Structure 1
């Protein structure tokens, strides 16, 4: 059965086997996305359960305007980002973190350089950049989502997403140069 058929069946009958079928199809994907964003297995497990609760409580609101998988990804992404923001707010109040100035937007085209980073360097860079930059780069290059899908998930226009990706790549490249003391080219 296709996702949409399972959803309609579940909404009509509340059959637990439909719930189980969707859970089995998406649990690993949701958990993987949660662990990549939250960096903690226990948190990711809890988040996966919370996300499935949200999905099934709101299943009747799925309007079929996008693929079900995109809708699930959107809920997952938003849940994790909200959780991270909540934790950062707590950190700000407890640690009085310094504000970081936004950097200039003019920089070299870095697609090729970004893709040539060594895996170790890439991991370090991803750990250093903001969660927003990291997430949009992972959506585009790891999850291979289209600009249209990313725009839908983030609730932005496609041109805004393109600009956000461009700026995130530039900041990632700048972070790489700083971390590995590379000259500006």
Structure 2
């Protein structure tokens, strides 16, 4: 791929015939800048790396919607800023922890702590019994905070199909947890 092509020319020339080359060229041009934008907003290098990865996946899925009303870099930075702001806002509103995370209440000998531990173990076992796609959909929706529309776009599904798959996955988890209890 020619390094002297503008972003818009890269998109026009290669997106329809060689999308991987197109994406690779744009990724290589902007990954460091997007990472720095994310790092400046999160002050966490691991989170900034995750956000950068997620942003480029989102951009690649929406690249055919780029209308060239502004430069590609402006469009990309706008998506980057909005994605980081949304994720930070969501994390403040819905604090989450991973199942493997060691939190203070694990060390407590109270009955409540034991119940939480047991519930987490049951949930972990239930999640392991789901298919990879079911786990992925649930994580994208409830851990990563993606919208139904974004998930549908990622999997090339209709929104109603995503909603139904999420519903069935939640019901399956409930059944598995009820069986265990």
TM-score (norm 1): 0.47
TM-score (norm 2): 0.48
Q: Which has the larger radius of gyration?
A: 2
Q: Which has the higher contact order (CA 8 A, sep 6+)?
A: 1
